[in-house]
Structure 1
Amino acid sequence: MAFPFRPGRPACGLGLAAALVCASMPPGLAAGRDIEVLIDQAMMLRLERPAAEIVVGNPSIADVSVQSGDTLVLTGKSFGETNLIVMDTHGQLLVNRRVVVQEPDGGFVTVFRGVKRETLHCSPNCETQLVIGDTPTYFDPLAKEIQTKQRIGQSSAEGQVSGE
């Protein structure tokens, strides 16, 4: 999916950016090692030149928004792998990298009830956690709650009052 860069507007939403991890990437992002990010966390990618075209192979795994012309915010949305391609106004490649989204180490507890699976994050208190692969009767209501919360947050960010 390609997103043309429009100054002052994100290429796409931030998703669940629970924490912001700032990592200034060195010049020469066009090739090299994978970009690794944790689910529900974000990292900043600094580019050599302003971005004009941004492509995320699978936006359900990772999402990107434009912080400024030469700074992107990459957010891990679901575990897996995808790719990120960024080109400048002359069509020159700035970034062509594989993006690997992983779950954080530690703190997760998986409860099995026969073939049913539920995941909690227990650090320090146990809270429900949306994890792909959990039983639909556990996963689906939680996913719906998160989507509702995201819509409310997005409406607030856009200056809309709930219910408009």
Structure 2
Amino acid sequence: MVQEFIARMNSCGGLWNLVEVYWTQFQPLFVNESKKLTQNCVQQLFNIEWSPTGSNNKDQEEATIYLWEGWLMEIQEAGTDISFEDLLVFVTGADHIPPLGFPHPCTITFYDQEPGSRRIPYASTCSLTISLPRGVEEEQEFNDLMNTARKGSLGFGKV
């Protein structure tokens, strides 16, 4: 089986011969070396879909991102029982970043908190999107919403 694998790899322009010569560059493709995620790594995964500049929504979204970054910092400092890997599972369904990365960047979108109701953040693992609430002003309230959302998501079909 191994010889067949090597022969088929070499049938693609001598790919296996390249792997043997430049094995250190190919190592992440063949060996799972998932490293512990950091706050910086998680922040770089996301693109933010902002409202137009100057709008009330944009101001509220900037406040939400400030709280989001504070929550990520709390995770980094082990101030919560949620890990970055847990967050990644919540948003993408994967517990580590694939060797070649995700097919497209993860996205942060926003929704409005309606007066008198409490909607928790939600994610779509298919589109790699997390939706965060606009208009949350208190750090503890935002942290509670995020922790409730993450802890309440037990996986597909387990609600």
TM-score interval w.r.t. the shorter chain?
A: under 0.3
Give the number of the structure whose alpha-carbon radius of gyration is greater: 2
Structure number with higher helix proportion: 2
